[in-house]
Structure 1
Amino acid sequence: MLADVSVTGRGGLSRRLTRGLVDQAAPGLRWAVAVVLLGVSGLFGGLDTVADPRAETVAAGTPVPGGPWEVTVHEAGVRRELGKLRLQKENDRWLYVIATVRITATESTMPPSDLLVLEGATGLVKPTPAEAALERDGSRLRLLHPEMPERIWFVWEQSGDAPVPTSLTISIEQRTYREDSLGGEWQWMDADEKGDDPPAGRVTVPVKADLTPPSASPSPGAGPSPTAGPSASARPRPSVNPKPSRSPSAGPTQ
């Protein structure tokens, strides 16, 4: 039995593994197994909690698997203006993260609104993005299809009274394929029924700041000028132009 015992990366025997071995032993032998395991664990540093390797912090450009998807964060930035997107308050600003999302599940999937969570940014109008748009054509994020990666702009509104972050740590949501305890169906769900799962991973990136003052309002007859980033002129169909070199295109719709 002890030949199959693994130890944690920090030199400690896993508490979960220890409980499992003790529970599987015959009732009359459980005390003996526990004593042996305690002795073995003492050689390796005690009963430590196994760290979840999926929650490690990685560099930008590193793919992070999260169950039915894989997310690669490329960059983050802050801008006063972002295409035709309209701030709720004039002094607010936009925080954006550009990431590639690849669906690794066998079925098309709509990523959750909290797929990316910003850690290190205060004053967000809401914790989930105000907009999420495909970079290639500006269409609003909807269903993504298996093995068809999309480069996506995720955009949050930040209060103008909050400090401009110099870096962001972005945590990536994960799901586990398991049986629904209510309906009995197998589907991608939170591993913890309470929703207390750790993130699949974290990515820390510097923030590129472009806080030039807003441009003067055009005359009533003038059309909007193209600017970089996802844009939302009038809902339900905003437009997007993530890169200055590209012409504006029809964008996300609700």
Structure 2
Amino acid sequence: MSVTGRGGLSRRLTRGLVDQAAPGLRWAVAVVLLGVSGLFGGLDTVADPQAETVAAGTPVPGGPWEVTIHEAGIRRELGKLRLKNEGDRWLYVIATVRITAEESTMLPSDLLVLDGVTGLVAPTPEESALERDGSRLRLLQPDMPERIWFVWEQSGSAPVPTSLTISVEQRTWREDSLGGEWHWMDVDAKGDDNPAGRVTVPVKADTTPPSASPSPSAEPSASTRPRPSASPKPSTSRSPSAGPTP
């Protein structure tokens, strides 16, 4: 939330004028300022702008990356991945990510956040893999788009979503308040910044097991994708180039 006055008076300005006044006059200055601000609607709270919700296939720029959500779906089995709990299901999102920064970038674990989905074993994906060969997601190179599968495990007792609203996180290029260096960091130093955008996409429910479970090293084909490896799990730590403010 941000606080502004319609007449141009903010809480910070009001506090500054009162502090600069002589001790004996501070109450008088405060009364005058409150009266003037009342004429212009007072000191109002203004909601921070909400992230735009767009349709699938629309690129969402998030600072060092651009994310295009293509589809989402449900699978009972997914290559060699193994569910932690019998009866659970895989919930996946397919997206193209293009690095717009000048340096190679490791995507943060919370790049995509599923809004309002219940029963997730973890809020971040259990696995993220390149669609072209099923390899585990690592550093992405600038201006080389990659189509990626992001996979979550959802409890079998949770309702199957018919659509997903996916928040795409963002970073901004700014100075580190501690070291003075410039990095891609959270927009808000507290990590409370809004997402770059939200994408709503229908969920394809496919509970039929895949016809094959090839190894990640096999040649890719349209009928056997995705093939993310079962282990090890990707690290949930953020890279220094796209992480939060220290």
Common topology (TM > 0.5): yes
Aligned with 1:187 (options 183, 186, 192): 183
Number of matched residues?
Answer: 220
CA contact (8 A) 1:179 1:185 kept: yes
Per the alignment, residue 205 of structure 1 pairs with 201
Question: What's the CA shift string for 1:14-70, capped at 9, x where partnerless?
Answer: 799956887999x79x9999988876779xxx95625425x1211111111111111
> Residues 239 and 38 from structure 1, CA distance in 2 versus in 1: closer, same or farther, beyond 3 angstroms?
farther
Alignment of 1:211-250 (within 5 A): 211-212=207-208, 214=209, 226=212, 243-244=222-223
Question: What's the CA shift string for 1:190-232, capped at 9, x where partnerless?
Answer: 12222111111111111110123x58xxxxxxxxx525xxx7x
Aligned with 2:169 (options 161, 173, 187): 173
Identity %: 66
> Residues 250 and 159 from structure 1, CA distance in 2 versus in 1: closer, same or farther, beyond 3 angstroms?
closer
Distance in 2, matches of 1:168 and 1:174, equals 19
Q: CA RMSD in A?
A: 3.5
TM score, norm. by length of structure 1: 0.71
> Residues 121 and 135 from structure 1, CA distance in 2 versus in 1: closer, same or farther, beyond 3 angstroms?
same
Aligned with 2:49 (options 48, 52, 59): 52
Distance in 1, matches of 2:133 and 2:7, equals 49
Q: What is the Cα deviation at residue 76 of structure 1?
A: 0.6
TM score, norm. by length of structure 2: 0.73
Question: What's the CA shift string for 1:57-105, capped at 9, x where partnerless?
Answer: 1111111111111111111100111122111122110000001111111
Distance in 2, matches of 1:132 and 1:16, equals 48
Q: Say whether residues 1:135 and 2:131 are aligned partners.
A: yes
Distance in 1, matches of 2:217 and 2:124, equals 18
Aligned with 1:151 (options 144, 147, 151): 147
Distance in 1, matches of 2:60 and 2:6, equals 24
Q: Partner amino acid for 1:226?
A: A
Question: Secondary structure, in 3 states, of the residue corresponding to 1:162?
Answer: coil
User: Gaps (5+ residues) in structure 2?
Assistant: 22-28, 233-246
* More relative contact order, 1 or 2 (CA 8 Å, 6+ apart): 2
CA contact (8 A) 2:65 2:97 kept: yes
Q: Partner amino acid for 2:94?
A: I
Q: Partner amino acid for 2:49?
A: D
